[in-house]
């Protein structure tokens, strides 16, 4: 069936269903779904019998429709009503809204012979009404809190697929890992300052996925080896920790990284770098040796403890620069880094970190002390 004829058919179907919604009403989604099947079959039979032809100008060459709807289809099929190569997904709400959650983006039960889908939506709240919209146009968001699910709205101002830059049919034909590339890019585009993605996804995708342990952990309960590794990763991605001690949000990204990528809650982030223990300064005047002790002798500037802690982490930061994925640096440093360095090169990452750190620090220059042999 041509899309124009499909739309004309649904114009008539939705008009009849709206009359029923306002007279006898619908109380259950399944009752409405079955009624969609019955009315669609009735109207298509009437069209084939010669009725409504005055409403079907320019599409009469698509007749007869010859529709035979399965009134008892398999459960969970998508779309709900199959009409050859077109189909109807049925939605129902008792609320006064044209917006609802739809199916999973995985679309496991999709009928692949269907090439064009429309959603027929019954709104019983407010003034009852039944409307339809093209599925590609109605899907306007994807929720990513657990299994990514489409969200739709009749007559949405902008389609999700327009935003993602791919047609629904092309997106639907992708394997799930490739779908997740589009979904993550969409989700990132909606993040506010200080927000980061946090969800489980397929480790075989583009490399931006990560798995969290089932049990959240406290940083203070980790062994020293893991603490050191996490500190090195976090500070490399978040050079703003070298900012003035008066900077209110300089540890925000660092805390979010540990939480969203490692499931580790760090409730005293400041102590990771500015406490005496982190800087290698212990009781009774004991001080751990660093590579720059001569240059640091007598220095008392703001950030001296942070500098000492970074000097002690330098080798671990260099290792992190070699194994962390490029997508992490893009997430925490921003897309503009691609225009400035080779993001895949560990030495380039260190040099860019030094540049960023110098910009953040006010009373000292990290590049004068750190990674002198880079």
pLDDT per residue as tens digits for the range 134-176: 999 999 999 865 568 899 999 999 999 999 999 999 999 998 8
C-alpha 286: how far from chain center:
48
For 362, residues 6+ apart whose C-beta sits below 8 A from its C-beta are 243, 244, 302
> pLDDT confidence of 335, banded at 50, 70, 90?
confident
pLDDT at residue 337, rounded to an integer: 87
Please give the helix or strand (H or E) that residue 48 lies within, else none.
helix 29-48
pLDDT at residue 276, rounded to an integer: 41
Residue 93 has φ and ψ, to the nearest 5°, of: -145, 145
Q: Please, are residues 241 and 233 in contact by the beta-carbon 8 Å criterion?
A: no
Question: For the chain, what is the total number of helices (H) and then of strands (E)?
Answer: 13, 9
pLDDT at residue 20, rounded to an integer: 97
Q: Give the mean model confidence (pLDDT) for residues 275-297.
A: 48
pLDDT surpasses 70 at 210: no
Domain ranges within the chain, ordered by starting residue: 3-173, 217-368
Which residue's structure tokens are 């979010």? 256
Q: Please, are residues 89 and 117 in contact by the beta-carbon 8 Å criterion?
A: yes
pLDDT surpasses 60 at 225: yes
pLDDT in tens, 108-121: 889 989 999 999 99
pLDDT surpasses 90 at 19: yes
**Where is mean pLDDT largest: 14-18, 209-213, 248-252?**
14-18
pLDDT in tens, 254-263: 888 888 788 8
pLDDT at residue 306, rounded to an integer: 83
pLDDT surpasses 80 at 73: yes
Short-list 355, 354, 369, CA closest to 293: 369
For 350, residues 6+ apart whose C-beta sits below 8 A from its C-beta are 317, 318, 321, 371, 374
pLDDT in tens, 338-351: 889 999 999 999 99
Residues pairing with 90 in the sheet: 120
pLDDT at residue 298, rounded to an integer: 54
Q: Give the mean model confidence (pLDDT) for residues 236-251.
A: 82
Give the C-alpha separation, 34 to 342, whole Å: 58
Residue 167 has φ and ψ, to the nearest 5°, of: -70, 160
pLDDT at residue 208, rounded to an integer: 46
Furthest C-alpha separation in the chain: 100
Pairing of β 264-265 and β 217-218: parallel
3 state SS of 110: strand
Give the C-alpha separation, 180 to 365, whole Å: 40
Residue 125 has φ and ψ, to the nearest 5°, of: -75, 155
């Amino acid at each position: 069936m041509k899309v124009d004829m499909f739309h004309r058919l649904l114009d008539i179907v939705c008009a009849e269903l709206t009359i029923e919604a306002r007279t006898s009403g619908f109380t259950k989604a399944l009752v409405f779904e079955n009624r969609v099947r019955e009315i669609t079959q009735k109207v298509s039979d009437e069209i084939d019998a010669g009725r409504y032809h005055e409403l079907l100008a320019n599409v009469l060459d698509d007749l007869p429709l010859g529709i035979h709807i399965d009134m008892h289809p398999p459960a969970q099929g998508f779309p709900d009503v199959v009409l050859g190569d077109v189909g109807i997904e049925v939605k129902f709400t008792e609320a006064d809204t044209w917006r609802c959650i739809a199916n999973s983006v995985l679309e496991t039960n999709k009928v692949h012979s269907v090439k064009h889908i429309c959603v027929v939506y019954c709104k019983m709240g407010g003034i009852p009404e039944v409307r339809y919209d093209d599925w590609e146009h109605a899907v306007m968001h994807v929720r990513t809190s657990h299994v990514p699910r489409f969200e739709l709205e009749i007559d949405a101002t902008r389609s999700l697929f327009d935003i993602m830059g791919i047609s629904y049919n092309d997106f639907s034909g992708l394997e799930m890992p490739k779908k997740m590339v589009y979904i993550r890019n969409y989700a990132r585009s909606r993040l506010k300052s200080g927000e980061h993605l946090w969800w489980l996804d397929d480790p075989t995708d583009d490399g931006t996925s990560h798995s969290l342990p089932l049990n959240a952990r406290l940083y203070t309960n980790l062994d020293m080896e893991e603490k050191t590794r996490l500190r090195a990763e976090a500070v490399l991605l978040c050079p703003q920790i070298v900012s003035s001690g008066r900077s209110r949000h300089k540890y925000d990204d660092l805390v979010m990284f540990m939480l969203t990528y490692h499931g580790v809650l760090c409730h005293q982030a400041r102590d990771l770098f500015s406490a005496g223990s982190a800087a290698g300064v212990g009781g009774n005047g004991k001080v751990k040796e660093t590579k720059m002790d001569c240059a640091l002798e007598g220095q008392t500037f703001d950030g001296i403890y942070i500098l000492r802690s970074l000097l002690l982490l330098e080798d671990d930061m260099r290792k992190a620069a070699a194994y962390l994925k490029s997508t992490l640096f893009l997430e925490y440093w921003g897309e503009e880094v691609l225009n400035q360095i080779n993001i895949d090169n560990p030495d380039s990452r260190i040099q860019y970190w030094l540049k960023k750190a110098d910009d953040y620090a006010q009373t000292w220059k990290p590049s004068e002390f750190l990674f002198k042999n880079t």
